[in-house]
Structure 1
């Protein structure tokens, strides 16, 4: 069997240890199904040539007999057997023995379980396996942006903002310094309001990979205020961990395989 198919089967077996559905890229799924169907056809040919009664008349017109088969190469041999099996004068019915039934059942089960996914899933999976997780188990890459909120001056705050009641937004720095001096001197600041401001981080979105966050920022970063990427952990978040572990099996090699 082709080494690529052997590695693919090994990965499928590993996936089925933890998941009911096997995750494969489209070309992988097609290759595996083709290999299984080929194995099924080869098994049917083997059963046919073992059954002397099923082989039919040696001299059947248009068909190759035993003596002619030994002279053929592999592909010609298979074609000759297939032609004889399908001939209307050959009364052949595939035997439903345990081996053939098991192979047919395994093929049907494999087709049922195989999920064809776009290449983008393989890219995400590769990033999950190779990215820097910042020494964090089950990492969740999160984008935050900075926002300000009005708080009590008696508690923690970052700065003081002055706003002209008839204006739009804060006053310029020079005016703010003069107003602050008047306020501290217990002098009037009619027409202006004074606010204590605190900078906080606001959640924007979460991604499985850091590249996912960077892609988001490339598309939408201009709408955010001082965005940054932070890594949280999905510790005890079973939903996130199950999906993340499932994604990591896409397109990867099983340990010890090529």
Structure 2
């Protein structure tokens, strides 16, 4: 019984936020998507114009100071691998973390979870042709 009341209160709160939030993004049926940048390393230089240096043993990107030194050496003599580091191409893509009905909830999530996910950003998408999302959002708007 207490769980049902808690759920009702939570849905009422979400409904209120959906009805009262700003529509600055000017899209119907918005989805607030929390994302972060993910790097995909090891790509061929002809496909990945961005480069960095990876610590071979740790599999992690080198510190910026080390990258600067290694890149200067690469520019001087073409050395793209040392005993501990390798120059690699990379691409970045947005990794989806979580979806929300309100911007407020998305921003709260980002604030509470930055320690877990690192830097995140908010992307507003449209639920165009997503009948399930539209139905739930419509229910929240008319509650």
RMSD over equivalenced CA pairs, Å: 2.5
Structure 1 gaps of 5+ residues are 1-25, 27-116, 251-258
Q: Name the SS for the 1:118 alignment partner.
A: helix
CA distance in 2, matches of 1:157, 1:187: 18
Where does residue 39 of structure 2 map in the other structure? 148
- Tell me: higher relative CO, structure 1 or 2? Use CA pairs within 8 A at least 6 residues apart: 2
What CA distance in whole angstroms lies between the structure 2 residues aligned with 1:188 and 1:195? 8
Structure-1 residue corresponding to 2:16: 126
- Which whole-Å deviations, capped at 9, do the CAs of 1:65-123 have from their partners, x for residues lacking one? xxxxxxxxxxxxxxxxxxxxxxxxxxxxxxxxxxxxxxxxxxxxxxxxxxxx6222121
Per-residue CA deviation, residues 222-256 of structure 1 (Å, 9 max, x unaligned), is 21121111110011111110111012122xxxxxx
Whole-Å separation in 2 of the counterparts to 1:145 and 1:130: 27
**Match in the other structure for 2:108:** 215
The structure carrying a bigger strand percent of its residues is: 2
Cα distance in 2, alignment partners of residues 206 and 183 from structure 1: 42
Larger radius of gyration: 1
Structure-1 separation of matches of 2:94 and 2:80: 34
Map of 1:93-242 to 2, 5 A cutoff? 118-133=8-23, 134-150=25-41, 151-158=43-50, 160-166=51-57, 169-184=60-75, 185-187=77-79, 189-191=81-83, 192-242=85-135
The equivalent of 1:83 in structure 2 is none
TM-score, normalised to structure 2's length?
0.78
C-alpha distance in 2 between matches for 1:143 and 1:161: 26
* Partner-residue secondary structure (3-state), 1:162: strand
Give the helix-richer structure, 1 or 2. Answer: 1
Q: Distance in 1 between matches of 2:73 and 2:90?
A: 19
Structure 2 residue runs of 5 or longer lacking an equivalent are none
Alignment length (residue pairs): 135
Note if contact 1:127-1:209 (Cα within 8 Å) is conserved in structure 2: yes
